[in-house]
Amino acid sequence: MKETAKTNDAALDLLAPGPGEDILEIGFGPGRTLGLLAEHGARVSGVDVSEEMVRLARRRNAELVRTGTLTLHRGNGITLPVDDSSLDAVLSVHNLYFWRKPEATISEIARVLRPGGRLLLVFRGREHQLPKRLDPAVYRDVTTDQCMAWLASAGFDARCHHPDGVSPQVSFVMAKCSPRGLDSGFRKQ
C-alpha cells in the first residue's frame, strides 16, 4: 500500500539507521522495511505475530536471511527473542494498536535496548478520527498522550514528530532509552 510505504520511508528517515547497528522491527508485515534497514548496513531482526507475514518477509528477503543479516521470529512482542541491552534501535509502524499489553511490550523494549538506544513508534492516535476503512473493534484505542505516558513510565525520554509529506494524524513518537542508573527525570517501574 502506497500510504504505508510513504509512512515507513518517513520512519526510516527519522530513525536514521546506521551501519553496524542492531535494529528490531516489531510488526514487520511483508518485510519491505526490514530490507531497507539492511540496506543502511544494519543487522536486522523482526518479530511479527502472523506466520503468514513471517513467510512473506522471509521470501521477500531470502538473501538477507541466508547471509544472517536478517533474523525473523514469530511472536507477540510481549517477550522479545533478544538479549538484554543488545539493540541500538526498535521500530514499529502502525502496529501499536494490536499490542495486547502495550505497557509490557514497552518495558520489554526498554530491556533489550542499549543505554541511549532509540525507539520509534508510528501510529494514528485516537485523538484523530479513525478512517472509515479501519474497524474500531480491531484497532486499540491509543492516543498519542497515552503512548507518551507509557514511555515516560518505562524511563524513556520521548518526543512526537510530524514529518513533512505524511498525514498530520500520524504520530511519529521517537523515544530514547535512558542510561541505566542515571535519573532521567521519569518514574521507572
**30 burial level (CB within 10 Å; 0-12, 13-18, 19+):** middle
Closest to 24 (Cα-Cα) out of 46, 43, 41, 39: 46
Specify whether domain 2-177 bears CATH 3.40.50.150.
yes
The domain ranges of the chain are: 2-177
What is the gyration radius of the CA atoms in the chain, in angstroms? 16
Closest to 111 (Cα-Cα) out of 145, 77, 143: 77
pLDDT on residue 187: 32
pLDDT on residue 134: 72
Summarize pLDDT for 162-173 with one digit per residue, the tens.
999 998 999 999
Summarize pLDDT for 85-125 with one digit per residue, the tens.
999 999 999 999 899 999 999 999 999 999 999 999 999 88
